[in-house]
Structure 1
Amino acid sequence: MQVLYTAEVNATGDGRNGHVTSSDGILDFDVRTPKEMGGGGEATNPEQLFAAGYAACFHSALRSVARRQNTLPLVEGSQVQARVGIGPNGAGGFGLEVWLTVTLPAADAAQAQELADTAHQVCPYSNATRGNIDVHIEVAK
């Protein structure tokens, strides 16, 4: 693979209760354990950051697929919501599960499903997670 860009982020502090900073200084904030996992929840957390990255990347893949298929009008007003769940994996560690909800108001149900399925095949996050964590794709109107 020819690398086109490399993101670099440094984490300091106490893991989930620490600070993250990107090498370019754009990211520079605290992270905290969510209340649901026994933390204070007063800052973002790794699952929110993963959800943000996956939603943005999948939405970009969706638009790229539509562009290649000459169906760009079908993604007008589109959005992607990512929900990332974390929990015990039964082997002493933790695992993730992702739900992506794709909203394509300009497409009918079949068109929306085809675009979402194709985007799932080209999205780098989908390719990285395939076979490793459960990713559920749903199309909403």
Structure 2
Amino acid sequence: MSGYVPLEMRRQIREHYGGCCAYCRSAEDLTVSIFEIEHIEPRAAGGLTKFENLCFACPTCNRYKADRLMAEDPQSRAAVKPFHPQRDRWEDHFGWSVDSAEILALTPCGRAKIELLRMNRSQLVRVRRLWVEMGEHPPTFRTF
């Protein structure tokens, strides 16, 4: 299958992730960005354009992830297999800070992904605080 993702599959992927980025959990409807359908295992590395290899991602997380297949745990400096949104439960690797503004790592995989994608970049933490005040964050959906 080519890299083209049919419109109906795009709709299904967006719905599967509740309209939120599979990584940082930002809601597309609360941003001015158009989110992307991302190949979890990059096409350049043989990743296929099929539902099990696609996720909904904000442009920033998608850009930082790029074509990477592995990540480094910033604590141990060991290479770890990165979080796979279609196979792994977000809640097993990540949690929210008390004020729900920052994503906390629960595993080496979580630490690696938070650092790689800069999931707690200052601008995003600030806007999450606003979303919390609005009653729009954190998202309550679960993908599995």
TM-score by length of 2: 0.27
More strand by share: 1
Larger Rg: 1
Higher relative contact order (CA 8 A, sep 6+): 2
